[in-house]
Amino acid sequence: MPLPMGHTAIGLATYELSTNNNSKTNSLKLIIFLTILANLPDFDVIFGLLIKWNGNAFHRGPTHSLIFALIMGFLASRAWKLSSQIPRIKFGVCFLIILSHVIADFFFTSSPVSFFWPIEVSWSSGYSGWGDVLSSVFFQGFQDAGIIIGSAISIILIRLIKGHQQTLFGFKIRQKPLTK
Ligand SMILES: [Zn+2]
Read off the pLDDT of residues 111-130 as tens digits, 9 standing for 90 and up.
889 999 999 998 888 888 99
Buried/exposed 127-159: b ≥16 CB within 10 Å, e otherwise: ebeeebbeebeeeeeeebeebbeebeebbeebe
Distance 169 CA to ligand 1 centre (A): 44
Output the pLDDT for position 82.
Answer: 94
Could you tell me if residue 179 is inside a domain?
no
DSSP-based three-state secondary structure for 81: helix
- From CA 89, how far away is CA 123, in angstroms rounded? 31
Distance 136 CA to ligand 1 centre (A): 13
Output the pLDDT for position 31.
Answer: 92
Distance 163 CA to ligand 1 centre (A): 33
Could you tell me if residue 58 is inside a domain?
yes
What residue ranges of the chain have pLDDT lower than 50? 168-169
Distance 95 CA to ligand 1 centre (A): 15
Give the count of domains, the chain: 1
Distance 102 CA to ligand 1 centre (A): 6
- From CA 139, how far away is CA 142, in angstroms rounded? 7
- From CA 13, how far away is CA 122, in angstroms rounded? 27
Distance 64 CA to ligand 1 centre (A): 7
Could you tell me if residue 178 is inside a domain?
no
Could you tell me if residue 177 is inside a domain?
no
Could you tell me if residue 86 is inside a domain?
yes
Output the pLDDT for position 159.
Answer: 84
Could you tell me if residue 40 is inside a domain?
yes
Could you tell me if residue 72 is inside a domain?
yes
Distance 162 CA to ligand 1 centre (A): 30
Could you tell me if residue 64 is inside a domain?
yes
Output the pLDDT for position 94.
Answer: 97
Domain that holds residue 91: 4-172
Buried/exposed 94-116: b ≥16 CB within 10 Å, e otherwise: bbbbbbbbbebbeeeeebebbbe
Distance 1 CA to ligand 1 centre (A): 9
Output the pLDDT for position 144.
Answer: 84
Q: Where are the beta strands (DSSP E) in the chain?
A: 167-168, 171-172
